[in-house]
């Protein structure tokens, strides 16, 4: 428990006093797994879409999280950057939102789905504290994968596949438009 408490305290410190500072003891060392796996945060956003036009903010929020995660954990890793603070704040707010959303849209029991990703985050932060690069790569990748998986599952339980249907319809409409525009342009030649 002391480890969890210390990690939580360090996280709040890194969100505030160390907003844009790196906490990587190994410097500028990149991992495609740990850094780019954050890009998968777009997936729960797709499942967050519904017929309600106001649901588009959900996709925007998850895409923003994906961009901030990759920028912080891959592009700017190991060096001071505003991306780190933005990622820490957004990830924290999105985690709290998903717990709230699970509670209100699915059931209070589904809030427990936050535990596995948070334990992976704890493992990632513990690996940083020990300066254990290999463990960090594993745990930080698992943090992203577990958070994406559980968020996607919650969004699916709340919305079904409505977001995928909307995206498929949009892609089909775009394809038809581009194809028609291409045929029209060819006829003008």
At 184 the pLDDT is 63
At 54 the pLDDT is 85
This prediction has a pTM of: 0.86
Core vs surface per residue 43-70: b (16+ CB within 10 A) or e: bbbbbbbbeeeebeebbebbebbbbbbb
Q: Which residue stretches of the chain have pLDDT < 50?
A: 1, 188-189
Mean pLDDT of the chain: 92
Tokens of 93: 């707010």
- For residue range 103-121, what is the model confidence (pLDDT) as tens digits? 999 999 999 999 999 999 9
At 186 the pLDDT is 53
Is the distance from CB of 11 to CB of 125 less than 8 angstroms?
yes
């Amino acid at each position: 428990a002391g480890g969890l408490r210390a990690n939580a305290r360090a996280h709040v410190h890194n969100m505030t006093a160390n907003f844009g500072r790196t906490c990587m003891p190994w410097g500028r060392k990149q991992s495609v797994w740990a850094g780019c796996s954050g890009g998968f945060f777009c997936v729960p956003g797709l499942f967050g879409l519904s017929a309600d036009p106001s649901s588009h903010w959900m996709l925007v929020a998850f895409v923003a999280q994906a961009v901030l995660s990759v920028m912080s954990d891959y592009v700017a890793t190991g060096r001071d950057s505003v991306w780190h603070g933005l990622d820490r704040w957004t990830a924290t707010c999105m985690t709290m939102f998903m717990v709230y959303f699970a509670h209100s849209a699915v059931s209070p029991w589904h809030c427990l789905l936050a535990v596995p990703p948070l334990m992976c985050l704890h493992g990632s932060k513990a690996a940083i504290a020990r300066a254990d690069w290999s463990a960090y790569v594993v745990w930080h990748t698992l943090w992203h994968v577990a958070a994406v998986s559980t968020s996607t599952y919650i969004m699916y339980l709340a919305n079904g596949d409505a977001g995928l249907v909307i995206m498929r319809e949009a892609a089909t409409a775009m394809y038809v438009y581009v194809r028609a525009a291409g045929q029209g342009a060819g006829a003008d030649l």
